Amino acid sequence: MPLELSRMLEEDIPAFAVMDEECMQGWGFARAMQHLNPDQPRREFIEEWTRKDWGKDESQHWLKVTDTETGELIAVALWRFPIEGQELHIEAPPSGKVEDHESKTEGTTKQDPGVPDLFTVARRTWKELETEFIGDKPYAVLGVLATHPKHQRRGAGSMLVKWGCDKADELGMVSALHASTAGQAVYTKHGFEIKRAVELDLRPWGVDETELRRGMVRQPR
């Protein structure tokens, strides 16, 4: 069944949120994301987060791969390419709420005050990768890559990674990402190299696992 890569549309957001929920069930880091607002379903959180800046942020490039025979959306990616004067925000909001993550307004957080914010920790890990291996030059970021579990190993993820790598090559720009175990092989295939790997204990956020945060960087070709 042929696959087609195209721009994701706003009307695709609900289907993306459903697919994301299927994709992330087995990933400890995604489960830990719920630590601030466990009562909100991930599907609802992802749909709100995706809509928050839709059409407002020129650095965002949302892409999809569709099965042309069934019309089903089977994979999605978010590439970010810097706009002059704009700082890229690498990590997603830390909770099911889409308010400013720094907000302390009553009712926006259920986090134990003794537990550090998961995304503060993740952003620090990213900043360390940036400082050591990228520097202050502009660079592209692959912030989201998700393929429906039933459609993995069909090449959809590779199509989405290649799109961003080709664009980065045209711009002469470094690319960077954090890779899960599942995604590492496709990133390596397209020239990303692991530059930094940090173990993140997820138990403070209710998940009895350790997440290996693999910082990967690709030089333009």
pLDDT digits (tens, 9 = 90+) for 134-147: 998 899 999 999 99
Q: Are 220 and 172 in contact (CB under 8 A)?
A: yes
Average pLDDT, the chain: 84
Measure Cα distances from 23 to 59, 131, 145 in Å: 25, 31, 10
Q: Specify the 3-state DSSP secondary structure of 26.
A: coil
pTM of the model: 0.84
Task: Give the CATH fold of the 3-95+110-218 domain.
Answer: Aminopeptidase (3.40.630)
Q: Are 178 and 119 in contact (CB under 8 A)?
A: no
Domain ranges of the chain: 3-95+110-218
Give the tens place of pLDDT for each residue, 177-202.
999 888 899 999 999 999 999 898 99
The C-alpha torsion from 180 through 94 and 204 to 113, rounded to 10°, is: 160
pLDDT tops 60 at residue 17: yes
Q: Are 175 and 142 in contact (CB under 8 A)?
A: yes
Opening angle at CA 23, ends 18 and 24, nearest 5: 100
Give the tens place of pLDDT for each residue, 101-117.
333 333 334 445 556 77
Total residue length of the chain: 221
Burial label for 103, CB within 10 Å (0-12, 13-18, 19+), is exposed
pLDDT tops 90 at residue 118: no
Q: Tell me how crowded residue 62 is: count the other CB atoms within 10 A of its CB.
A: 18
Unique residue bearing structure tokens 């690319």: 175
Q: Which residues contact 57 (CB under 8 A, 6 or more apart)?
A: none
Give the tens place of pLDDT for each residue, 28-42.
888 888 776 778 888
